[in-house]
């Protein structure tokens, strides 16, 4: 749509827009960035602690990666189910949404919203509304990459 399709604002509308922009509260960008940094950092430190726990019990760093991921997803799901993780995301913004616990929250939160509709039609149907497409794409991409690797190298 070009300038011809745009609606022309009267002087009164422009004055109102200017006044509204001046009165609008400013976003505390620096405060939000610092808070997100620390919230995300705390979550990552917890994850590092979980990985160290597994390493102290005989696993290598590489072996401890998978169980650490499972534990962090479980913690995110548990905190979402208890209604606590939404507070973390509200305060921490992307610092709470970006780590794997945020992915867990994105899966569990829609399911919790539809819990009154029952386990099958409520929780089960809504559990994968956000994560379903991501998981489907990831599995399909892994299959294609594995197939190409097998065709090129002959190694599964």
For 5-40, what is each residue's pLDDT tens digit? 457 888 888 888 888 888 888 888 999 999 999 999
Diameter of the chain measured on Cα atoms = 73
User: Within a 10 A sphere around the Cβ of 61, how many other Cβ atoms?
Assistant: 11
The closest of 46, 91, 88 to 69, measured between CA atoms, is 46
pLDDT in tens, 58-117: 999 999 999 999 999 999 989 988 989 989 999 999 999 888 898 888 877 777 776 677
Give the C-alpha distances (Å, rounded to integers) separating 124 from 74, 79, 92, 108.
17, 19, 28, 10
SS3 content of the chain, % helix, strand, coil (to 5): 80, 0, 20
Residue 4 has pLDDT above 60, yes or no: no
Q: What is the pLDDT of residue 130?
A: 64
> What kind and span of H or E run contains 14?
helix 11-23
């Amino acid at each position: 749509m070009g300038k011809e399709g745009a609606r022309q604002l009267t002087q009164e509308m422009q004055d109102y827009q200017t006044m509204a922009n001046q009165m609008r509260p400013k976003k505390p960008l620096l405060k939000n960035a610092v808070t997100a940094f620390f919230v995300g950092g705390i979550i990552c430190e917890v994850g590092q602690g979980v990985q160290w726990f597994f390493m102290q019990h005989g696993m290598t760093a590489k072996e401890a990666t998978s169980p650490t991921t499972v534990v962090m997803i479980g913690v995110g799901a548990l905190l979402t189910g208890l209604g606590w993780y939404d507070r973390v995301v509200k305060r921490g913004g992307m610092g709470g949404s970006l780590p794997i616990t945020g992915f867990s929250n994105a899966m569990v939160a829609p399911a919790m919203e539809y819990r009154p509709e029952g386990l099958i039609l409520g929780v089960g149907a809504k559990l994968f509304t956000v994560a379903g497409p991501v998981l489907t794409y990831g599995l399909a991409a892994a299959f294609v990459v594995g197939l190409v690797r097998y065709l090129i190298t002959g190694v599964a």
